[in-house]
Chain A
Amino acid sequence: MEVIELIKLISASIICWINFVIVDIYFGLPKKPGVSGAEVIGSKIEKIGGNINGGYFMGNIVCSPDASAGTLMASIFYYVMGVKGGLIASMLIFIGNRLCNDPGYAGSIGAITATILMYAFSGLIEPKYFIGGMVIAIFTIQGLYHVWASKLLGNLAKKLRMI
Chain B
Amino acid sequence: MVIFMMDIYYYVISVMVSVVMGLIIKLPLKLDKESFEGNLFFPTIFIALGLTSIVEFLFGLNIIFSLFIGLISPIFSKYVNIIFPGVEYGSY
Determine the distance from Cα of A92 to Cα of B53 in the docked complex, in whole angstroms: 12
**CB <8 Å contact, A103 and B34:** yes
Interface residue tally on A, bucketed by range = 20 to 34
Determine the distance from Cα of A94 to Cα of B50 in the docked complex, in whole angstroms: 10
**CB <8 Å contact, B50 and A98:** no
Determine the distance from Cα of A28 to Cα of B35 in the docked complex, in whole angstroms: 12
Contacts between the two chains (Cβ within 8 Å), count: 76
Q: Which A residues touch B46, using CB under 8 A?
A: 87, 90-91, 94, 108, 112
**CB <8 Å contact, A87 and B50:** yes
Binding site for B on A (CB under 8 A): 27-28, 32-36, 39, 81-85, 87-88, 90-92, 94-95, 98-99, 101, 103-105, 108, 112, 119, 122
**CB <8 Å contact, B51 and A91:** yes
Determine the distance from Cα of A81 to Cα of B90 in the docked complex, in whole angstroms: 38
**CB <8 Å contact, B50 and A35:** no
Binding site for A on B (CB under 8 A): 2-3, 5-6, 33-36, 42-43, 46-47, 49-54, 56-57, 80, 84, 86-87, 90-92
**CB <8 Å contact, A91 and B47:** yes
Known: A105-B42, A119-B2. A99 touches B84 (CB 8 A): yes
Q: Which B residues touch A32, using CB under 8 A?
A: 92
Q: Which B residues touch A105, using CB under 8 A?
A: 33, 42
Q: Which B residues touch A98, using CB under 8 A?
A: 36, 80, 84, 86
A151 CB to closest chain B CB (Å) equals 22
**CB <8 Å contact, A36 and B91:** yes
Determine the distance from Cα of A34 to Cα of B90 in the docked complex, in whole angstroms: 9
B19 CB to closest chain A CB (Å) equals 16
Residue in A35, A108, A112 whose CB lies within 8 Å of B90? A35
Provide a sorted-by-A list of 11 A–B residue pairs whose CB atoms are within 8 angstroms.
A28-B33, A33-B92, A36-B91, A83-B2, A84-B57, A87-B50, A90-B50, A91-B54, A103-B33, A104-B42, A108-B42
**CB <8 Å contact, A101 and B87:** yes
Determine the distance from Cα of A122 to Cα of B90 in the docked complex, in whole angstroms: 42
Chain B's closest residue to A90 (CB) is B46
